[in-house]
Amino acid sequence: MSGWIVSIILFGCLLALHFYWQNRFRSLALGQAESPAEAKGLAQALGMAEMFSNLPEGVLVTDTSGRIEFANRAFCRLFDLPENPSGKTVMEAIRIHQTNDMIERLKVENSIEQEEFMLPNLDQRYLQVNGVAIRENDERHRGTILMFHDLTRMKRLENLRQEFVANVSHELRTPLSIIKGYVETLLDAEEDTGTTSHRFLKKIENHSNRLAFLIEDILTLSRLESGGIGLELRDVNLRQLVDSVLDSLREMAGNKGVRLKNNIEEDIVLLADSQRLFQALNNLIENGIKYGGECVCVTAKSDGSEVDLCVTDDGPGIPAEACERIFERFYRVDKARSRELGGTGLGLSIVKHVTQLHGGSARVESSPGEGASFHLTLPLTDAGTATPSGADSL
């Protein structure tokens, strides 16, 4: 269980105590206190309410019907509320349908973690919400607790970073293309391939190509992260798509002595962007050829709602600590070997973002000496944000 959920449950317990003792305090005010010790306990409970009011995160508590029971000062500031919204519904108070949807979901689910949305105003404010359901001992729904975190500053810094990386990469393209052009011209003019100048020119050409691949990967990843790449969804036959990827890599595999296998059944059809999925599979299979052993195999299993697409190699495997970071940008298990083989360190990060863009997830299963299996779990329908535009049978 994550730290956020533990915190929310703790706040839930404290808030439940607060509302219970608040009612008892009203009885005390009418002269109905049972003892002096009870009066002391009530005063401590009211102090908890003051503590919640001063939390920097917005806290919202609703009752069984969805009406607001408690909202702290930070919540009111986040949504520019002039007065405490207690007694109102969420739609009456803030008119944010995502929050109302979360409250409805928590009537069935026990918790919701790290849901993000943007407020519909000109400030472009981003919020992250964690929620937990309050239930009685008999599991009856008592209400919900939501905690709001303002992500606006972090999102803006992230956008600035993405824009900077994209702009620098674009600026590098022009001088790099000029360098490559002159190097290719000099190589064509060099008749003796054994000279020192020819050897130096080949080094320049190889590193220029590597830098070009790196720039293209950075630009692709930047567009994926920023949402600048839309999906053109089509019905894609997975076996035919994998066949096309394997055909493009067969020469490379032959030079490495690696066998390529496609064990996907003919009838698995996925609603996806064939170009982006081709790119993700190409990165996975190419990695299997470079760093694997003698065979790379692609399989797929479907349960009717999603498909598990798996690329497996019989190579040296990946340590457990590396499996947790393998999809990070520029992360390499063996840095020296990756550079020697021309890797940019961005291929698996692109795989992860392409999969997430389709509404799926990526993971790796591996142990040292037992190869590695990369799994892409993708929904069979309702993928991404684009509208299907035809059929594709690569």
CATH number at residue 284: 3.30.565.10
Same domain assignment for residues 269 and 387: yes
pLDDT digits (tens, 9 = 90+) for 108-121: 888 888 888 887 77
Q: Strand pairing partners for 307?
A: 302, 378
Buried b (16+ CB within 10 A) or exposed e, 377-387: bbbbeebbeee
pLDDT digits (tens, 9 = 90+) for 50-91: 666 777 888 888 888 888 888 888 888 888 888 888 888 888
Q: Judge whether 299 and 318 are in contact, CB under 8 Å.
A: no
Same domain assignment for residues 10 and 159: no
Quick one: average pLDDT of 142-153?
A: 87
The C-alpha angle with vertex 329 and arms to 169 and 117, in degrees rounded to 5, equals: 90
Closest by CA to 71, choosing from 86, 81, 83, is 86
Of 229, 261, 286, which one is at a domain's C-terminal end?
A: 229
Same domain assignment for residues 247 and 389: yes
Same domain assignment for residues 249 and 377: yes
Helix (H/G/I), strand (E/B), else coil: 274: helix
Same domain assignment for residues 330 and 360: yes
Same domain assignment for residues 208 and 286: no
pLDDT digits (tens, 9 = 90+) for 253-310: 888 899 999 999 888 888 888 888 998 999 999 888 888 778 999 999 988 788 999 9
Of 198, 229, 260, which one is at a domain's C-terminal end?
A: 229
CATH of residue 120: 3.30.450.20
pLDDT digits (tens, 9 = 90+) for 345-355: 788 888 998 89
Half-sphere exposure of 138 (CA within 13 A, CB side): 1
Same domain assignment for residues 168 and 249: no
Total tally of structural domains belonging to the chain:
3
pLDDT recorded at residue 381: 66
Q: Which residues contact 221 (CB under 8 A, 6 or more apart)?
A: 329, 346, 349, 350, 353
Same domain assignment for residues 238 and 194: no
Same domain assignment for residues 47 and 102: yes
Both tokens assigned to 84: 């405490």
Residue 380 clears pLDDT 90, i.e. is over it: no
d(CA 334, CA 345): 11
Same domain assignment for residues 141 and 168: no
Same domain assignment for residues 164 and 114: no
CATH of residue 219: 1.10.287.130
Same domain assignment for residues 97 and 172: no
Percentage, residues of the chain above pLDDT 70: 79
Quick one: average pLDDT of 19-43?
A: 44
Of 100, 117, 150, which one is at a domain's C-terminal end?
A: 150
Mean pLDDT of the chain: 78
Quick one: average pLDDT of 161-184?
A: 84
Residue 393 clears pLDDT 60, i.e. is over it: no
Domain that holds residue 259: 230-394
pLDDT recorded at residue 228: 63
